[in-house]
Amino acid sequence: MHPQRSEPASRARSEPSTTVTLAPRSSSADRSSGANPGPSVPPSGPACRSVFHEKIAAEMDDEKKKRKLLKWHDMPRYLQFNPYILTGYRPVQSVWDCVHSLFYFHNETINILTHGVPIVYILVTVPGLLPWKNHPEYDLIGHVLPWCHLVGSVAPWVGSFFYHLFMNCELGGERLYHRLLQMDMLGIWMSQSIGAMPMVIATVHCMPLLLKYPLFAFYVVLSIWGLYKALTAWSPWERRLCFALPFLMRVFFCGLRSLGLAGGNPDALLHVILQDAVSAVGGAIGAMHVPEKWFPGRLDAWFNSHNIMHVLVVTAVYSMHQATVKDLQWMADEGVCSARSAPEPEMAEL
């Protein structure tokens, strides 16, 4: 009787020990087979916060390096075009960093904004101010000339905006810089030639055919010559003098209008004079580097010659717009030429 009762008791005592010894073997087998022991607990506490802060600090350091402004002697030679602007230069950057430079201040910020804002303003307001209507004889006055004026008003700002924004881009280096400079000159040429077409055509509008078309063709030839010189010029003075002959031709037309020997709205004469006079003054100031030549390093961010030139040419285009609208309205009148050719009534004798 006692041996039968003691056998189950010994089995019961041995089972717990067997279970305890099998658990480590199973765990060891799982580890040797590469099984995942379970999800890892992410680090927390001061160590985790320290890693996070170091990452943020590294990103801020990278951002500061991208925004670090250089001095004149640190820049590549092709970007050292004004020896009197000593600080505030952006380093050579990627395309995205050039775009990002719109959101912090440097020595090109004023130049970018003064020609970037007019693009939006002109595209929004000017088309609604132009007299878009058909002329009874041809569509030149009603459709073509307003488009010439719109293109001539926007083109210089587009070229200048991209030139100043991406002039330090690393994508093409010096080669890209010269391409952007050519784009800038092309925009100026479009303003000086295509944008001036309404004034030129209004001037010769009432002239005889044998005089009207040769004068117009001569101005077109001078404009094409100016385009060639603008795209091949390699110095600031060459780039400015390439527009000298078309400029002198417009001065000649302005003289004819002031003497009453040519067409055009008489009320537009003041703006016809200002559109070229103000632009010429701005170009001369930019070429002479005044006033930063007198105060080197003190006018790096604003009020230097290029800033002044940008503001002056904006006012010149405003005068061009005023003169163009008046001339288009004047040419739309069918009787303007007959009124000019009609003799004035003689005063009755007393």
143 is in an annotated binding site: no
CA distances to 101, 180, 228, 287 from 82, rounded to whole Å, are: 20, 17, 25, 10
Please tell me whether 164 is known to bind a ligand. Answer: yes
Terminal-to-terminal C-alpha distance of the chain: 169
Judge whether 140 and 179 are in contact, CB under 8 Å: no
CA angle at 337 for the pair 332 and 342, rounded to the nearest 5°: 145
Q: Is 205 annotated as a binding residue?
A: no
Measured in degrees and rounded to the nearest 5, phi and psi for residue 93 equal -130, 170
**Interatomic CA distance for residues 322 and 237, integer angstroms:** 29
Cβ-based neighbour number of residue 18 at 10 Å: 9
**CA trace torsion 141, 198, 246, 164 (10° rounding):** -110
Binding residues: 164, 306, 310
Binding residues for Zn(2+): 164, 306, 310
